[in-house]
Structure 1
Amino acid sequence: MTSLRRIWAILRKELVQLRRDRTTAALILMIPQIQLILFGYAINTNVRHIPVAVVDQSRTGLSRALIQMVEATQVVDVTLRLPTVQEARRAVRASRVRAVLILPPDLDARVARSPAANMGQPDSTEFASARPVGQWIVDASDTMVAGAIKGLRLMPLAELFRQPPNRQVPTCEVALFSNPEQRTEVNVVPGLVGIILTMTMIMFTSAAIVRERERGNMEMLINTPVRPIELMLGKIVPYMGIGLVQMAIILSLGHVLFNVPVAGSLWVLLAITLLFILASLSLGLVFSTFAKSQLQAMQLTVFVLLPSILLSGFMFPYDGMPKPAQWIANVLPATHLMTMIRGVVLRDAWIEDLAGGMIWMGGFAALGLLVATLRFRKRLD
């Protein structure tokens, strides 16, 4: 009985402490809810509504009908209509679209020479060697998106000629851009940079201010002329170098072990990685001003890490998520880095192609530093 009373006393103490620790209690309740929402709504391997561009060089009723049938599948959404193939390639490189459908000027003639358009006539060498009626240029850095586009190359044309998809109908050839072999590791390795940096950078700095309190160093800071902004900058600068080392290790090993090339400029890669590291470190500092212990700081890190893995496009295509999930994803720095680092590493994207994401991450980092500075006070309470 004495032992039970002691256990009961410790149990009551833990329950009271948990009730007073509102941050931990809130995380206990919110994490399972957020996981359910993420896994239930955001994760979707049936990719739909992929943003694509169209270069319609034919401009005929047949080309318009074909475009409408492609859109009717709901696998793709035509978000851009561009006049030239060169502009379309730039749109893919800048991640404005994931694929481009090119319809040539002689579309009607190609369809007229196709076997499906001459079903009542005997087979001939001319029909068997008919040219494709169009071409898809696909960003294959995401293998799920590439697979969804490849599945479209026969379906709309088969409907147009009222033939089953496995019959010989005029087809669009598919050119896979940036990952023609559709190797998964080509997509995963650049994305790992964002996930690992999110985990380590936020984790390091989220415990920075808390650690000063727990070690008793805050008393010394009170008696120094160090300003809050100086303290914040001093905390994050060392970790910027650590983040760059981690990025170099991931991409170097990815190249050696998995033959993942770095097609773009190393200077552009350095610039976007530094911006992302700064944004992640500033977010960690904000968490550090809220957390009362290093355990709470770690819990807040997990609170951001899980959505970053599931919503950023690292594991599942961003384009396949519902709009509310995309809105949440756009707030996360990891989402913007995924797009930019894959653009640089796989598609040789340049700074002008990445300007929007770089401006956003720079603003996020500045806002995070401002909030952390305003919330920090050089006092023990």
Structure 2
Amino acid sequence: MSLRRLFAIVTKELRQMRRDRITLAMIVGIPVMQLVLFGYAINLNLRGLETGIADQANTAGSRAVVMDMVATGVIDPSVTASTPQELMEHLRRGEISVGIVIPPDFERRRYEGREAVQVLVDGSDTVVQSAAVQLAQLPLDNRATANTRPARDGTGQLAVGQISVVAFYNPERRSPINIVPGLIGVILTMTMVLFTGVAIVRERERGNMELLIATPLSRSELMIGKVLPYAAIGLVQTTVILLLGVWLFEVPIRGSLLDVYFAAVLLIFANLTLGLLISTKARSQFQAMQMTFFVFLPSILLSGFMFPFAGMPKVVQWLAEVLPLTHFLRLIRGIMLRGAGLLELWPEVLALLAFTTVMMTAAILRFRKRLD
């Protein structure tokens, strides 16, 4: 073995990596991305859960109870309602994760030691459900009551009341109920972006691009034609996951099945157009797969699939709002687990449509620039 020839090969590989900016970026980018994403995303100690308050008693004591709950940092009041039914509507639409109900006879219930406060929780996320249980440990005393009454034990203190937690949509706290709908989005994100990410690059590597340019196809027709076959594949994948989820894990579909497929179509086209944009940038199929990894890792960590969205810092949440998987998870879980309709979840629908439009426009413009 010649050390000189070995050194020449090593030098050649290092120079080639230096010229390949994508590979060079991954050498530093992957460890930095994983450290930052895992450091911010993994937070099971939830704080600031969006909460609705229905204080029907509106007394000094009831307001003090709400203040005590807010002081824990677990909840963040964002919605005010007059009835429990209004809270349930907000809960079903995914606008809140927790609802606090204080009945009109709160003071009497507290004095008698009966259930005086009810906490309504979106139990489809078991981590959120566990965090809300902390609220039930708060004691109900008479610190803010103007007219105190002696308790039955004669100590001068009111009997400790009870805060009950009622979990909806997943009272058994089964993890597959929350995971399987999210897996639809994760699998579609991984496959759709990858498939179209290598589509244009593969044509270029095989020498077919010149033939496509010579055809009377417009650039828009070519790009859309590349997308449609993979959209059909995405629907097949969605069907397989739904069938297995219902059969093996008894995952409910409480909403319209048509809405489920429409939400899947929105994510499919969002990911396909993103993959097309990647394919106009990559110079080889290997580079396209590398760039797909940079999309897939933040999507699975920041979208709320693995770790609760509410546990992330605000800056990270803003970044996650750019990812189509974030909006799809809200859609699919709202439809399948809470029985919500697309009209009730319209902000997520508009977000996916806007993302698809921007990505498709950028891909067509870049493709035209590369052909000129």
Determine if the TM-score, normalized by the shorter chain, exceeds 0.5.
yes
| SS of residue paired to 1:377 | helix
Q: Does residue 339 of the first structure (1) align with residue 338 of the second (2)?
A: no
Q: Does residue 238 of the first structure (1) align with residue 221 of the second (2)?
A: no
**Structure 2 spans left out of the alignment, 5+ residues:** 145-158
What is the TM-score with the length of structure 1 in the denominator? 0.91
**Contact between 1:264 and 1:349, CA under 8 Å: does it hold in 2?**
yes
**Contact between 2:141 and 2:160, CA under 8 Å: does it hold in 1?**
yes
How is 1:202-351 mapped onto 2 (pairs within 5 angstroms)?
A: 202-351=193-342
Opposite residue 257 of structure 1, the aligned amino acid is L
What is the TM-score with the length of structure 2 in the denominator? 0.93
Q: Does residue 148 of the first structure (1) align with residue 147 of the second (2)?
A: no
Opposite residue 209 of structure 2, the aligned amino acid is M
**2:85, 2:256 → 1: CA distance?**
21
What is the CA-CA distance between 1:380 and the residue it aligns to? Answer: 6.9
**Contact between 1:218 and 1:379, CA under 8 Å: does it hold in 2?**
no
Q: Which residue of 1 aligns with 2:140?
A: 157
What is the CA-CA distance between 1:63 and the residue it aligns to? Answer: 0.9
What is the CA-CA distance between 1:378 and the residue it aligns to? Answer: 8.0
Q: Does residue 48 of the first structure (1) align with residue 39 of the second (2)?
A: no
Q: Which residue of 2 aligns with 1:17?
A: 16
**Structure 1 spans left out of the alignment, 5+ residues:** 115-130, 162-167
What is the CA-CA distance between 1:273 and the residue it aligns to? Answer: 0.9
Question: Structure 1 residues 378 and 323, CA, compared in 2 at 3 Å: closer, same or farther?
Answer: closer
Equivalenced residue count is 359
What is the CA-CA distance between 1:237 and the residue it aligns to? Answer: 0.4
**2:172, 2:12 → 1: CA distance?**
59
What is the CA-CA distance between 1:5 and the residue it aligns to? Answer: 2.4
Q: Which residue of 2 aligns with 1:66?
A: 65
**Contact between 2:266 and 2:352, CA under 8 Å: does it hold in 1?**
yes
**Contact between 1:55 and 1:85, CA under 8 Å: does it hold in 2?**
yes
Deviations 1:236-273 (A, max 9, x none): 10111111111111111011111111111011111111
Q: Does residue 355 of the first structure (1) align with residue 355 of the second (2)?
A: no
**1:36, 1:346 → 2: CA distance?**
33
Question: Structure 1 residues 224 and 70, CA, compared in 2 at 3 Å: closer, same or farther?
Answer: same
Q: Which residue of 2 aligns with 1:128?
A: none
**1:204, 1:332 → 2: CA distance?**
18
Question: Structure 1 residues 182 and 158, CA, compared in 2 at 3 Å: closer, same or farther?
Answer: farther
**1:269, 1:356 → 2: CA distance?**
16
| SS of residue paired to 1:174 | strand
| SS of residue paired to 1:45 | coil
**Contact between 1:219 and 1:379, CA under 8 Å: does it hold in 2?**
no
**1:252, 1:223 → 2: CA distance?**
44
Q: Which residue of 2 aligns with 1:165?
A: none
Q: For the aligned residues, what is the CA RMSD?
A: 1.8
Q: Does residue 107 of the first structure (1) align with residue 98 of the second (2)?
A: no
Opposite residue 92 of structure 2, the aligned amino acid is R
Q: Which residue of 2 aligns with 1:94?
A: 93
How is 1:190-209 mapped onto 2 (pairs within 5 angstroms)?
A: 190-209=181-200
What is the CA-CA distance between 1:222 and the residue it aligns to? Answer: 2.1
Question: Structure 1 residues 158 and 279, CA, compared in 2 at 3 Å: closer, same or farther?
Answer: farther
**Contact between 2:112 and 2:161, CA under 8 Å: does it hold in 1?**
no
What is the CA-CA distance between 1:379 and the residue it aligns to? Answer: 6.0
| SS of residue paired to 2:217 | coil
Percent identical residues? 51
